[in-house]
């Protein structure tokens, strides 16, 4: 049996851990620069606030219904996620962290255990030790475990937050209830095509002919059919290094000068390079993009990107900033008001296994230099050591007017108690 453990309304729950006065009250979390809604409590969902809702358009609704609005506090969310995953791992040696708020556990070999009781123990311990409520779904396959978790979350009173699909009757009942568009791994386009062909439930999907699925969809969906039939085809995956790393930001104001954007692109590139070194990779390609504000119909629009294939693989901040600024200079056009830019590094290779070239290769002196910079920044704080192009002394911050405290990661922001 596999278990999928999913945190309920994770970001909103994180805010409630240190603010119990927010229990049962509507909460929304905003994206970077407080732009759009990226997370909602159940109470906010009941008010009809959709995902991706522009904050400025829903300001009146927020005020009318006394919705508590927070800026994204990823320092808090990331730390609480690590704590939740640590508690989960104590129940099972095999675990796949699927996202920041959910993980699969492999309970094959636990057939003689009372999994319902075990699920309740997991739920109770996670909530007691971290304050984060979770739902637990057990099933013979990962895809069915996803469905079981969805049922546990949908019907908390009947299931107590834990649901098992451990019989054929329960499997059929669950799949007959589950909308085909909600099946893990079936995207919107495939879901629309299936519904156009009269396939509205997961159960009907499992009754489709294999050849039809391969012809009209792909081998991936054929594996999903097997999974929904109770035939395990997806195993737990080890944590893999990322295949691309991106740093993008919407500017707090419009930028019209190349030097302004160059500073931002340089900082984004340094961030990507640091993440590359952290996972022991070098990149062979880099993409830079710039955009104007698409919501400003009164302004001229210009969006452009460029991909540079590097002459050698590197994770040096100095070398990558050099290439990134070259790319920016090639796509920048005077006369536009730019609102967003970003850097994406791609095509990774192991930093300890590099193919040397005859005429050009990475500067080996940068290897020890970058290690020293990373060590200093790790001990004294990020961006203490910066490149000159990053404008030392100039602090760039996202617009986060409603940011909560970093209760668990900053000693100056720990919870205070009135006694």
Domains of the chain: 1-163+404-419 (3.30.70.270), 167-239 (1.10.150.20), 245-386 (3.30.1490.100)
DSSP 129: H
Query: What is the rounded CA–CA span in Å between residue 109 and residue 112?
Result: 8
pLDDT at 330 over 70: yes
Query: What is the rounded CA–CA span in Å between residue 226 and residue 80?
Result: 35
Least confident of 154-163, 253-262, 365-374: 365-374
Q: Region 90-105: what's the mean pLDDT?
A: 88
How confident is the model at residue 361, as a pLDDT?
64
Q: How many Cβ atoms sit within 10 Å of the Cβ of residue 334?
A: 7
Query: What is the rounded CA–CA span in Å between residue 233 and residue 93?
Result: 20
Residue 72, CA distances (Å) to 29, 151, 185, 340, 377 in order:
6, 28, 27, 18, 23
How confident is the model at residue 41, as a pLDDT?
95
pLDDT digits (tens, 9 = 90+) for 37-82: 999 999 999 999 999 889 889 999 999 999 999 998 888 888 899 8
Dihedral pair phi/psi, residue 46, rounded to 5°: -65, -20
How confident is the model at residue 397, as a pLDDT?
53
Q: Is the dihedral of CA 280, 283, 287, 288 positive or negative?
A: positive
Mutual orientation of helices 219-228 and 142-154 as an angle, nearest 10°? Answer: 60
pLDDT at 356 over 80: no
Contact 375, 41 (CB under 8 A): no
Contact 28, 44 (CB under 8 A): yes
Least confident of 163-167, 177-181, 369-373: 369-373
Mean of per-residue pLDDT scores for the chain: 88
Give me the sheet containing 245-255, strands edge to edge. 245-255, 338-350, 281-292, 303-314
Query: What is the rounded CA–CA span in Å between residue 408 and residue 132?
Result: 14
Smallest CA-to-CA distance from 26 within 16, 18, 36, 35 is with 16
Q: Which residues are bridge partners to 308 per DSSP?
A: 286
Higher pLDDT, 50 or 384: 50
How confident is the model at residue 75, as a pLDDT?
83
Least confident of 122-126, 289-293, 299-303, 399-403: 399-403
- Give the tokens for residue 314: 């590197």
How confident is the model at residue 382, as a pLDDT?
64
- Give the tokens for residue 45: 């969902």
How confident is the model at residue 366, as a pLDDT?
87
Smallest CA-to-CA distance from 75 within 9, 125, 14 is with 14
How confident is the model at residue 348, as a pLDDT?
85
Query: What is the rounded CA–CA span in Å between residue 123 and residue 104?
Result: 14
pLDDT at 395 over 70: no
pLDDT at 200 over 60: yes
DSSP 180: G
- Give the tokens for residue 366: 């940068």
How confident is residue 390, by pLDDT bands cut at 50, 70 and 90?
A: confident
Q: Region 386-408: what's the mean pLDDT?
A: 70
Percent of the chain with pLDDT over 90: 54
How confident is the model at residue 296, as a pLDDT?
81
Least confident of 46-50, 213-217, 373-377, 388-392: 388-392
Residue 414, CA distances (Å) to 161, 184, 198, 247, 279 in order:
31, 38, 55, 29, 30
How confident is the model at residue 187, as a pLDDT?
84
Q: Vertex 59, ends 54 and 63: CA angle to 5°? A: 145
* 185 backbone φψ class: left, alpha, beta (φ>0; ψ -120 to 50): left
Residue 86, CA distances (Å) to 68, 74, 79, 101 in order:
29, 18, 11, 12
pTM of the model: 0.69
- Contact partners, residue 303, CB within 8 Å, separation at least 6: 289, 290, 291, 292, 294
How confident is residue 353, by pLDDT bands cut at 50, 70 and 90?
A: low
Contact 174, 168 (CB under 8 A): no
Give me the sheet containing 68-71, strands edge to edge. 37-40, 27-30, 68-71
């Amino acid at each position: 049996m596999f278990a999928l453990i999913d945190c309920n309304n994770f970001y909103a729950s994180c805010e409630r851990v240190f603010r119990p006065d927010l229990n049962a009250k509507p909460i929304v979390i905003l994206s970077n620069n407080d732009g759009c809604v990226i997370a909602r409590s159940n109470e906010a969902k009941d008010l009809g606030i959709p995902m991706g809702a522009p904050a400025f358009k829903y300001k009146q609704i927020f005020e009318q219904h006394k919705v508590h609005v927070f800026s994204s506090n990823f320092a808090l969310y990331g730390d609480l996620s690590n704590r939740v995953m640590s508690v989960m791992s104590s129940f099972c040696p095999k675990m796949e962290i699927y996202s920041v708020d959910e993980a699969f556990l492999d309970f094959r070999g636990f057939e003689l255990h009372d999994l319902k009781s075990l699920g309740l123990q997991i739920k109770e311990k996670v909530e007691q030790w971290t304050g984060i409520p979770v739902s637990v779904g057990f099933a013979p396959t990962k895809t069915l475990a996803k469905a079981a978790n969805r049922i546990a979350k949908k019907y908390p009173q009947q299931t107590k937050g834990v649901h098992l699909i451990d019989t054929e009757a329960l499997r059929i009942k669950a799949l007959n209830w589950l909308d085909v568009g909600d099946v893990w791994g079936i995207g919107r386009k495939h879901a629309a095509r299936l519904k156009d062909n009269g396939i509205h439930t997961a159960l009907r999907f499992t009754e489709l002919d294999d050849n039809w699925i391969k012809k009209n969809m792909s081998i991936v969906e054929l594996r999903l059919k097997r999974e929904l039939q109770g035939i395990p085809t997806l195993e737990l995956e080890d944590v893999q290094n990322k295949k691309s790393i991106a740093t993008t930001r919407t500017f707090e104001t419009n930028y019209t000068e190349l030097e302004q954007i160059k500073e931002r692109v340089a900082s984004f590139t340094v961030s990507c390079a640091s993440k590359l070194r952290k996972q022991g990779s070098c990149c062979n390609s880099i993409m830079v993009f710039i955009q104007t504000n698409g919501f400003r119909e009164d302004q001229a629009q210009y969006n452009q990107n460029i991909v540079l294939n590097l002459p050698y693989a590197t994770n040096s901040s100095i070398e990558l900033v050099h290439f990134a600024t070259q790319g920016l200079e090639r796509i920048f056009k005077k006369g536009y008001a730019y609102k967003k830019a970003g850097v994406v590094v791609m095509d990774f290779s192991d930093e300890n296994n590099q193919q040397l070239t005859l005429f050009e290769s990475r500067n080996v002196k940068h290897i020890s230099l970058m290690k020293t910079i990373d060590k200093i920044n790790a001990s004294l704080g990020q961006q203490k050591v910066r490149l000159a192009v990053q404008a030392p002394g100039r602090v760039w911050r996202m617009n986060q007017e409603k940011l909560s405290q970093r209760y668990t990661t900053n000693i100056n922001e720990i919870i205070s108690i009135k006694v």
